[in-house]
Chain A
Amino acid sequence: MEIYGMLAAGIVFGLGALGAGIGNGLIFSKTVEGISRQPELRGTLTATAFIGVGLVEAMPIIALVLAFMWSA
């Protein structure tokens, strides 16, 4: 049973990190593209990217803590 818990924890964190990686890549590629096109919008684009990445990265961090809870 302990092995199944650790396996579930690994799957939870791995899939969460995979989704966050894809999401972060999309957000930062568009942000860098936008800043390159219009450098005067850097402040607004940076704040928007921060909001997006903050929301995207919340899930794997919570998944990591939940994984620790399940595997403990």
Chain B
Amino acid sequence: MNDLPSLMRRNARMTLFFLSLGCLGWAFRPDWKPVFGGFLMGVAGGFLVSLHLAWKVSAIAARAAGGQRSRFGMFGFVSRAAIGVLAAVISVRYLEFNLPATAAGLLAGPLVTLILGLSAISRQTGGHASDERGEKQ
């Protein structure tokens, strides 16, 4: 169950959790609308970055498994960085949200990835350290 589609499903679930947190904050504190709106824009941008990264990684794995030597596209990281900048520009310039909140929302994507990675590692090792040799005290 540690393949990429299941990981992306869990990623989407946790991203929806962060989006719901932002919506709740917007609903209960309307005077903080620029902050929670910027956070929502950042979380959405971070999820788009994660989707693009998953598509790119699966394409690279498919080419490696197929033994192809074709060049990968040149716009991998540039596209993802541009998605982050686009989220920031739309959030600040057009919707007049808060830029630090947007940056915090962009951090939610890597945070979700970190949480999923740590949970996957603990599931693989059964809660024990990976360099443990099985001695019981």
Contacts and interface: CB of A to CB of B under 8 A. Distances in A.
Interface of A: 17, 20-21, 24, 28, 31-32, 35-36, 39, 42-55, 57-58, 60-62, 64-66, 68-69, 72
B113 A51 contact: yes
A61 B106 contact: yes
Interface in B53-68: 53-54, 57-58, 60-61, 64-65, 67
- Which DSSP category, helix, strand, loop or mixed, fits chain B's interface? helix
B2 A69 contact: no
B100 A55 contact: no
Interface residues of B, number: 34
B117 A55 contact: yes
B33 interface: no
Interface of B: 2-4, 7, 49-50, 53-54, 57-58, 60-61, 64-65, 67, 77, 80-81, 84-85, 88, 99-100, 102-103, 106-107, 109-110, 113-114, 116-117, 120
A24 B77 contact: yes
